[in-house]
Chain A
Amino acid sequence: MAGFDFFRSRRPGYQPRTPAAALKAVGTGTVPVEQFVYASASAKPLDEEPFDLEEIERVLARPSLNLQSSVLLKSVLEKLIGSKDQEVALFGAEGVNALESRALIRIEKLRTEMKTRPGGEVRRKLAREFFEMAELQAGSESVRTFYLLEAHTSLCGEEGELTLSRADLPLAIDILVARRLLEEADQLLARVDDTEDVEVQLMSARVAFHRGRYHSVAETCRALAASGAGVGEKEKRAISFWADRDA
């Protein structure tokens, strides 16, 4: 295969360590494109022990990490805090601090923006930031609850006085499920006009699942399976599993 010639004919020279560096090097013609493909596909899982501190630092340096990566990174950094090597422990503590400070700065910016330009979009962004901050606090239940409450307040108002739009609904359900306010989640979904909306039906099934109303989950999934609604791969698996009477 042509791709393997790259390894056979490789000469000593610049070897980019990361996929991003390899991509830049390909752009300048310093290394062949195979180097980028190889580097991209060979990234080591973050939480594989022994931990690769350079890799962790590199991922930590990214300004826009998504929630899943942030949660994983924090769990790895928390493991590092327990290290006997003081430098590694300090690196872990600083990393956690950096991760949380970054989120807090974003929250502060959005709060300021809310004062000058209050609106649904900014409100939703702020609530999303609080929700993600809560998800980062998996090990500390009280802090997590605090941020979930902040997320709820940002989205729905102090006493739920704000009217939620359709775009607010998924986040509102995420927050209510995380706070285990399943009855409220059900009531919120019941107020949605468009009962044929696939996403709303999936949310209903999800809330029913957490409430232990499995007959309702099965019914919703059968209806969704019968309608052949276009959904993601994960949801498709869950729907077909519940819709299948024999499984």
Chain B
Amino acid sequence: MTPVKEGTPPARHAAELLAFSIAVGVVNWFFPGNPGFLRGFFNPYVTLSLLIAVSYGKYYGFLSLGFSALVVLGIAAGRGLSISAEAPLPLAAAIVEVYLLGIIRDSLTRRDRKARELLVSLSRDKGLLKRQVRALRDANSELEERISRQEDSITSLYSQVQVLGSLNLTKALGAILEMTARFVGATRCSIWQHRPEESCLAFVSGKGWEAAGDTRTLLPDEGTIEGWVVRNNAVFSVKMLLSNEPLARMDTGRNIITMPITAGRRIWGVLNVEEMPFARYNLYSERMLLVIMALAAPGLERAIEFDSVVHQEDINPITGLPSFPELYAMLQLDLARLRVESGTLAVLILELSNLDELAGVHGREQAMLFIRDIARLVQETSAGQARVFHYKSQSQLAVLYPRLDADGASLFSLTMLEKVNSTEWRVKEQRAYLEVTLGFAALSGAEQTADELLEAAQNLLEMQKV
């Protein structure tokens, strides 16, 4: 017997119940002396009704009982028997039992339905909660990522400002460009130093220039936006082209935002933003740049002052040649420029091996004058192209020779050695013999640092000594 399913038509159930009652009646037909099984303890009709009441509910139990009564009446009539005296008591008991069992069944069914509804509701809530948790986890992951990549955080700004206090001009300029890239989103920016004596602005540092085709590293200070910014100590923003005709005439598509860089009371140079995303070009970015420049100003001013002091103090009083720090700073600036120009540069290191010997014979000052003379010989041979500096020891000179590749440097080295050896060096009519060894390195296609270039030249110099 299957339990009643919701939605099943009552007529079908009624037919089923009738069929059951008839089936019991068919069995009862073979017991002619006991119509309705009223005699005895077990009554199949009542049992059927009770089972129906338990399975289908009390109303179907009563219906089953009714059908059974009709079947029993039919059998009694068919057999010509009367059951009116025996039937009322079992029938009344059956009605009470069906009713009670029906009530119990209904109560259990209600409780069961409620439990099922609760389960469905809990299951639905759980699914919803799972989806919410997944969404929250994703959102958390995204937020966490955003926090992790907070390139424009105050701590990052602080770290860069700290770099500005290092008194290293190259590093300070790099830090300004780094801040410009991070906080303004500049994909290409550069710093140009104003050289009033040459009436030009020279490229000193850049970011994102590797990808660009522009290789200009000198700009006139007249007729350019950079020059206008220097002369007027004013900020240029590309939106000004909409209303300023003279600026529009000067525009070559190179400037989006150009800001003056001040050192003390003078304009030292300009910061130029050449490329940035459209969505980042707004008032906020302009103000952010002003904030960066204001924060950078004290550190940058000190670095510029320090650089110029070092530049002035580091001239050897005897030879008149600048010292190693000057060489290093110059080499870094040259390398930054050459990366843009894709040009070449050679570094040569000359060593007067017998300097101490010469100093012992002719005195230290005279020995240093030999160094000065070698430097002059280098400049003459290079037709003024090379710049000579003192290297790490007093006996060493370093030469920066632009637009000279490895072959050219090799040839120049041989020429220099020949000239030093063929020159008659004299001190007060006394002949002196200078022993010069030489090492060189040229900038190759690969990106090289100043240290790498100097180390390569130094290694070759050491090999010459062996």
Q: Distance (Å) between the CB of A156 and the closest chain B CB?
A: 22
A72 to B153, CA, bound (A): 14
Give Cα A238–Cα B145 distance, bound, in whole angstroms.
Answer: 25
A and B contact pairs by CB, cutoff 8 A, 19 listed: A19-B140, A20-B140, A23-B140, A40-B144, A40-B147, A44-B148, A45-B147, A45-B150, A45-B153, A46-B149, A47-B156, A49-B159, A68-B149, A205-B278, A212-B253, A214-B242, A234-B279, A237-B284, A241-B283
A175 → chain B closest CB, angstroms: 15
A11–B278 alpha-carbon span in the complex (Å): 51
Indicate if B462 sits at the interface (CB-CB under 8 A).
Answer: no
With a cutoff of 8 Å between Cβ atoms, the chain B residues found around residue A141 in the complex are 210-211
CB distance from B37 to the nearest CB of A (A): 64
Q: For residue B411, give the distance in angstroms from its CB to the closest CB of chain A.
A: 32
Shortest CB distance B288–A (Å): 12
Binds B, one of A58-66, A90-98, A163-171: A58-66
Contact with A along B237-266 (1 / 0, CB 8 A): 011011000000001010000000000000
Contact of B144 among A20, A212, A237 (CB under 8 A): A20
Question: Does chain A have a CB within 8 A of B342?
Answer: no
Could you say which residues of chain A place their CB within 8 Å of the CB of B279?
Answer: 206, 234-235, 237-238
Cross-chain contact B140 with A241 (CB below 8 angstroms): no
Q: Does A247 contact B (CB under 8 A)?
A: yes
Known contacts A40-B143, A43-B144; A214/B239 CB under 8 A: yes
A242 beta carbon closer than 8 Å to chain B:
yes
* Seed contacts A69-B145, A240-B282, A247-B239; 8 additional CB < 8 Å A-B pairs: A20-B144, A43-B148, A46-B148, A46-B149, A66-B142, A218-B239, A238-B280, A241-B282
By the criterion CB–CB under 8 Å, are B278 and A209 in contact? yes
Chain A hits for B148, CB < 8 A: 43-46, 55, 59, 69
- A41 to B278, Cβ gap below 8 A? no
Q: Which of A28-62 contact B (CB under 8 A)?
A: 40-41, 43-49, 55, 59, 62
- Complex contacts, A205 vs chain B, CB 8 Å: 278
Q: Does B444 contact A (CB under 8 A)?
A: no
* B 136-172 to A, binary, CB cutoff 8 A, 1 in contact else 0: 0100111111011111010110010000000000000
Chain B hits for A45, CB < 8 A: 147-151, 153, 155-156
Q: Choose from B133, B151, B242, B280 the contact partner of A218 (Cβ within 8 Å).
A: B242
B20 interface contact, C-beta 8 A: no
Contact between A41 and B147, CB atoms less than 8 A apart: yes
- Number of residues from A at the complex interface, CB < 8 A: 40
Hey, which chain A residues are within 8 Å of B412, CB to CB? none
The answer to whether A238 touches B143, judged by C-beta atoms less than 8 angstroms apart, is no
Q: Which of B144, B151, B210, B284 has the most CB of A within 10 A?
A: B144
| CB-defined contacts of A46 to chain B, threshold 8 Å | 148-149
B83 CB → nearest A CB, Å:
71
A residues in contact with B278, CB < 8 Å: 205-206, 209-210, 217, 238
Q: Specify which chain B residues have a CB less than 8 angstroms from the CB of A55 in the assembled complex.
A: 148
Closest to A62 in B: B141
Q: Residues of A contacting B147 with CB < 8 Å?
A: 40-41, 43, 45
Are B281's CB and A209's CB within 8 A? yes
Closest Cβ–Cβ distance, residue B150 to chain A (whole Å): 5
B126 CB → nearest A CB, Å: 14
Provide the main secondary structure of the chain A interface. helix
Pairs of residues from A and B, 7 with the lowest C-beta to C-beta distance, nearest first: A206-B278, A241-B282, A43-B147, A237-B282, A209-B278, A234-B279, A212-B253
B232 to chain A, nearest CB (A): 19
With A45-B150, A49-B159 in contact, is A247–B141 under 8 Å at CB?
no
A-B interface pairs (CB < 8 A), number: 89
Report chain B residues within 8 Å CB of A79. none
Contacts of A68 in B (CB 8 A): 149
A70 to B283, CA, bound (A): 28
Partner of A59, one of B137, B142, B145, B211: B145
Per the bound structure, the CA–CA distance linking A49 and B158 in Å amounts to 11
A247 CA to B287 CA in the complex, in Å?
A: 12
Nearest-neighbor residue (CB-CB) of A71 within chain B: B149
> In this assembly, does A215 line the interface, its C-beta being within 8 Å of a C-beta of chain B?
yes
- Would you call A237 and B137 a contact (CB within 8 A)? no
Residues 205-242 of A contacting B (Cβ, < 8 Å): 205-206, 209-210, 212, 214-215, 217-218, 234-235, 237-238, 240-242
* Distance to closest chain B CB from A42 (angstroms): 8
B145 adjacent to A66 (CB under 8 Å): yes
Chain A hits for B238, CB < 8 A: 214
A47 close to B151 (CB less than 8 A): yes
Nearest Cβ on chain A to B237's Cβ, whole angstroms: 9
Which residues of B lie under 8 Å from residue A66 when comparing CB positions?
142, 145
Question: How far, in whole Å, are A145 and B150 apart by their CA atoms in the complex?
Answer: 28
Considering the complex, give the chain B residue whose CB is closest to the CB of A212. Answer: B253
Interface residues in A182-217 by Cβ distance below 8 A to B read 205-206, 209-210, 212, 214-215, 217
Are A72 and B151 in contact (CB-based, < 8 A)? yes
Partner of A65, one of B137, B145, B159, B253: B145
* Contact partners of A247 in chain B: CB under 8 A: 239, 283
Chain B residue at minimal CB-CB distance from A145: B211
> Hey, which chain A residues are within 8 Å of B144, CB to CB?
19-20, 40, 43
Q: Decide if B242 touches A215 in the complex (CB within 8 Å).
A: yes
Shortest distance in angstroms between A123's beta carbon and chain B's nearest beta carbon? 26
A95 CB, min distance to chain B CBs, angstroms: 15
User: A45-B156, A215-B242 are contacts. A20–B280 as well, Cβ < 8 Å?
Assistant: no
Contacts of B155 in A (CB 8 A): 45, 48
Interface contact B149-A48, CB-CB below 8 Å: no
Which residues on the A side are within 8 Å of B142 (C-beta)?
Answer: 66
Give B396 Cβ to nearest chain A Cβ, in Å.
27
Bound Cα distance A41, B146 (Å): 10
